[in-house]
């Protein structure tokens, strides 16, 4: 009964990464994909739209809207920066909802995916714990709810190994009974790049797709399945050992003069010439038979996860409820 039920995806879930890979080093524009970048104060916001099938095919991402916050400084645990990221996240999330047509009165079900016993996988449940929940008041005393709040409920459905039930089944059961207008699903992702771990947050309106990222969400949480829109918030918290190796070989190439430079070739042999995909395949070919393509996370993961969960939960509370603003948002999280 010792079955490995986990299927890991090696794809990245970050649309900005997928776009960069598709563009190549020349950074050519991609038809059907539009992009808006804004950077200030150490926070880079990229708003990406995949407008049609051509764009979708080009970058291998579903048609939809993607917003990414990249904040390398988050790794240093600066509390002031965390507060600013939370504010930017709240503002972007509000804009995002408006853009995709989610009104101020829409009721929301927050879904915290992942396993609360596995620190790098506990982001979703932690956000749920720190979200401001109001649905009970709308159900029980609807006429006493103060203005400025929205109907919000939340669930951390657990993972298949803990419950024996797919997350998506739990969520569908709840959606059938409670009829929210929109789902917001929070999930920890696997990154294609060491430097994105715990420094990047992605918002997307395409839901959670089977087999994307790491883990067991095979049936997915999408509008097709659930009948309501599903906004996914993802943060990379782990990567594969092979990813690290591949990243470093890429950095080496740059370090030694770039691809094709004589010096690079001398030092790195064919490792310089082959494509990133081929090189990754090579690294995996070496590591996997030994069982060494471990999924790893930074040593400081406990603190990182707590920090990011706080950013996301505070940001959601401010974005979802007009009555919550940066001055009082701390009162709702732990």
Window 169 to 198, contacts with its own copies (CB under 8 A)? 169-170, 172-178, 194-195, 197
Q: What angle do CA 156, 158, 162 make, to 5 degrees?
A: 155
Which residue in the set 79, 142, 262, 275 belongs to the binding site for its own copies (CB under 8 A)? 79
Which residue in the set 53, 54, 100, 294 belongs to the binding site for its own copies (CB under 8 A)? 294
Q: Which stretch binds its own copies (CB under 8 A): 29-37, 40-48, 56-64, 141-149?
A: 141-149
Is residue 239 within 8 Å of residue 296, measured between CB atoms? Answer: yes
Q: Which is nearer to its own copies, 40 or 143 (CB)?
A: 143
Is residue 37 within 8 Å of residue 44, measured between CB atoms? Answer: yes
Largest interatomic CA distance in the chain? 75
Q: Which is nearer to its own copies, 176 or 325 (CB)?
A: 176
Q: How far is the CB of 155 from its own copies (least distance, A)?
A: 6
Tell me which residues in 215-274 interact with its own copies (CB under 8 A).
238, 241-242, 244-245, 247-249, 251-252, 255, 265-272
Q: What angle do CA 182, 188, 191 make, to 5 degrees?
A: 125
Q: How far is the CB of 276 from its own copies (least distance, A)?
A: 15
**Strand runs labelled E in 57-174:** 64-70, 108-112, 152-155
Q: How far is the CB of 332 from its own copies (least distance, A)?
A: 9
Which residue in the set 283, 308, 312, 318 belongs to the binding site for its own copies (CB under 8 A)? 283
| Cα 209 to Cα 322: distance, rounded to the nearest angstrom | 31
| Cα 144 to Cα 147: distance, rounded to the nearest angstrom | 9
Q: Per rule CB under 8 A, is residue 135 in the interface with its own copies?
A: yes
Quick one: CA dihedral 143, 153, 84, 76, positive or negative? positive
Q: Which stretch binds its own copies (CB under 8 A): 28-36, 61-69, 200-208, 296-304?
A: 296-304
Which residue in the set 301, 311, 318, 324 belongs to the binding site for its own copies (CB under 8 A)? 301
Q: Per rule CB under 8 A, is residue 140 in the interface with its own copies?
A: yes
Which residue in the set 134, 200, 212, 314 belongs to the binding site for its own copies (CB under 8 A)? 134
| Cα 185 to Cα 165: distance, rounded to the nearest angstrom | 17
Is residue 110 within 8 Å of residue 316, measured between CB atoms? Answer: yes
């Amino acid at each position: 009964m010792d079955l490995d039920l986990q299927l890991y995806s090696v794809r990245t879930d970050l649309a900005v990464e997928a776009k960069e890979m598709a563009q190549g080093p020349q950074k050519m524009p991609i038809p059907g994909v539009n992009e808006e970048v804004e950077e200030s104060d150490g926070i880079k916001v990229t708003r990406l739209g995949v407008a049609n099938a051509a764009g979708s095919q080009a970058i291998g991402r579903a048609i939809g809207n993607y917003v990414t916050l990249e904040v390398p400084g988050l790794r240093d645990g600066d509390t002031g920066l965390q507060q600013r990221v939370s504010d930017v996240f709240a503002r972007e999330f509000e804009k995002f909802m408006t853009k995709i047509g989610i009104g101020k009165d829409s009721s929301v079900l927050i879904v915290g995916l992942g396993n609360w016993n596995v620190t790098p996988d506990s982001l979703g449940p932690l956000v749920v714990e720190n979200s401001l929940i109001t649905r009970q008041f709308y159900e029980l005393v609807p006429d006493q709810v103060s203005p400025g709040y929205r109907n919000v409920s939340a669930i951390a459905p657990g993972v298949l190994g803990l419950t024996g039930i797919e997350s998506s089944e739990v969520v569908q059961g709840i959606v059938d009974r409670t009829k929210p207008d929109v789902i917001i699903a929070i999930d920890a992702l696997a990154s294609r790049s060491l430097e994105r771990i715990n420094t990047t947050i992605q918002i997307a309106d395409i839901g959670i797709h089977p087999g994307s990222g790491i883990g067991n969400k095979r049936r997915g949480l999408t509008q097709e399945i659930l009948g309501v829109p599903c906004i996914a918030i993802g943060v990379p918290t782990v990567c594969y050992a092979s990813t690290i190796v591949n990243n470093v070989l890429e950095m080496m190439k740059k370090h030694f003069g770039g691809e094709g430079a004589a010096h690079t070739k001398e030092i790195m042999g064919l490792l310089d010439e082959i494509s990133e995909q081929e090189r990754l395949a090579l690294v995996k070919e070496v590591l996997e038979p030994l069982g060494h393509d471990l999924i790893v996370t930074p040593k400081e993961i406990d603190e990182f996860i707590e920090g990011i969960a706080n950013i996301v939960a505070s940001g959601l509370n401010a974005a979802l409820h007009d009555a919550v603003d940066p001055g009082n948002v701390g009162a709702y999280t732990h």
